[in-house]
Amino acid sequence: MKKDLEAYKESLKREGYKLTYQREAILNAIVENKDEHLSCEDIYNIVSKDCPEIGIATIYRTLQLFEKLDIVYKLNFDDGYSRYELNHGTGDHHHHHLICLGCGKVIEVKLDLLDSLEKEIEKDGMFKIVDHNVKFYGYCSECDEAKE
């Protein structure tokens, strides 16, 4: 985990970007909440504790940069703002998300199992797939019970 953090900082420097206090704080916030799907506002609130004078524009700019450097991955759960998660990826595809229509909770699914579907799609040579984004909508066990 600590190693990850250094690796991320390395990739910043390697690409010629400066390692500022703000970027470090944002990176920390994301790494320390790697199980969450933080929005810009979430990150702003977390980072503001360590760095009260940070501006929201810096959060947006930095997340854009991190996305370009493949440090984070942008998610959209149709709740009005973009969310970000740490990109563990070694080029691998992303896991899927289950979105509860009852409480809005988001659950991660480690399974991939899309290979056969992707092969089928690529079979005729009309499209080359490099990534996917899969969301399932439904009800978590608590909300499903509550509906009875």
Partner DNA sequence: CTATTATATCATAATATTTACCAATATACT
Partner DNA sequence: AGTATATTGGTAAATATTATGATATAATAG
* Residues found near DNA in the complex (CB under 7 A): 13, 17-23, 39-41, 51, 53-58, 60-62, 64, 80-82
Per the CB < 8 A criterion, the answer to whether 73 and 67 are in contact is yes
- Identify what 1 binds: a copy of itself, DNA, none; CB under 5 to 8 Å per kind: none
Residue 132 to residue 129: CA distance in whole angstroms? 8
Residue 13 to residue 36: CA distance in whole angstroms? 26
**Max Cα-Cα span within the chain:** 57
Residues 59-98 close enough to bind a copy of itself by CB under 8 A: 76, 78, 96, 98
Minimum CB–partner distance for residue 143 and DNA (Å):
23
113 binds a copy of itself (CB under 8 A): yes
The residue among 22, 46, 23 whose CA lies nearest residue 34 is: 46
Residues 8-37 close enough to bind a copy of itself by CB under 8 A: none
CA 122 to each of CA 113, 117, 143: distance values in angstroms, whole numbers, following the listed order: 15, 9, 38
Residue with tokens 């080359």: 128
Minimum CB–partner distance for residue 31 and DNA (Å):
17
**Which range, of 33-41, 43-51, 63-71, 138-146, touches a copy of itself by CB under 8 A?**
138-146
- Binding footprint of a copy of itself on the chain (CB under 8 A): 76, 78, 96, 98, 100-101, 107, 109, 111, 113-114, 116-118, 120-121, 125-141, 144
